[in-house]
Amino acid sequence: MSPDADSSAGSRQRHPAVKVPLRFVLTAQVMEQPDGPSYLALGEKKVYRVNVLAVVVDAQNDRTFSVDDGTGKIGVRGFEALPKVAVGDLVLLIARPRAYGSDRYLVPEIVAPTTETWMRVRKKELEGLALPEPAVIEESVLKEEIIERPHEKILAFIRSQDSGAGVAVETIMNETGATEETVQLLLKEGEVFEITPGRYKVLE
């Protein structure tokens, strides 16, 4: 199978997984949307999902590992147990880029083995890709964005109340003013996961 293979879950429409180097994932500006998933800006293109080929450089546990493609290193974090990988494995990742503060990471949809041949092909494919310079955001704009991001308030509340078993969705909604739709959006974006029915934890 080609490492560019992708899949669809049911009939739900998905954004295309864009081939990019990890340097782009680590430096591109994260664009937040009040009623939709965040994305990375690549010129006029909105990158919601990425297609990355890289080598595993750290395998911490069955939900977390790190990869490096020669342009950067990033963590991969899953809701559930991920396919078993070992340091030195070459992998294809179809994933959603996420950011928490200055930390960037990938939430994978597909983790599959690849080969050195495909790694060389990908390197050639990306040679002509024009990447934007890391965005410089004025301090006043940054403060405004922090104030206007209600999702951060919800995530902070869940972290503060979670003693290990997650926080009940009713508590989250009552204490933060979040709607059920907002909680479901955070779940879809990969910011939280449902540890047991009706109880949510932040994906760290």
Q: Is there a single domain that holds both residue 148 and residue 127?
A: no
Return the beta strands (E) in 62-163 as ranges: 64-68, 73-77, 90-100, 103-113
pLDDT band at 148 (very low <50, low <70, confident <90, very high): very low
User: Is the Cβ–Cβ distance between 74 and 25 less than 8 Å?
Assistant: yes
* Sign of the four-CA dihedral 164, 152, 182, 44: negative
Helix (H) or strand (E) holding 61: strand 49-61
Domain membership of residue 155 as a residue range: 144-202
Q: Are residues 21 and 46 in the same domain?
A: yes
| Shared domain check, 124 and 154 | no
| 6 belongs to a structural domain | no
Each residue of 98-115: pLDDT tens digit? 988 788 999 999 999 999
Identify whether 138 is part of a domain. Answer: no
As for how many domains the chain has, the answer is 2
Domain termination residue (choose one: 96, 131, 166): 131
Q: Within a domain: residue 1? A: no
Read off the pLDDT of residues 54-77 as tens digits, 9 standing for 90 and up: 999 999 888 899 999 998 999 999
Q: Do residue 154 and residue 178 come from a single domain? A: yes
Q: Report the CATH number at residue 85.
A: 2.40.50.140
* Same domain flag for 153 and 65: no
Same domain, 169 and 70: no
Residue 1 has pLDDT above 50, yes or no: no
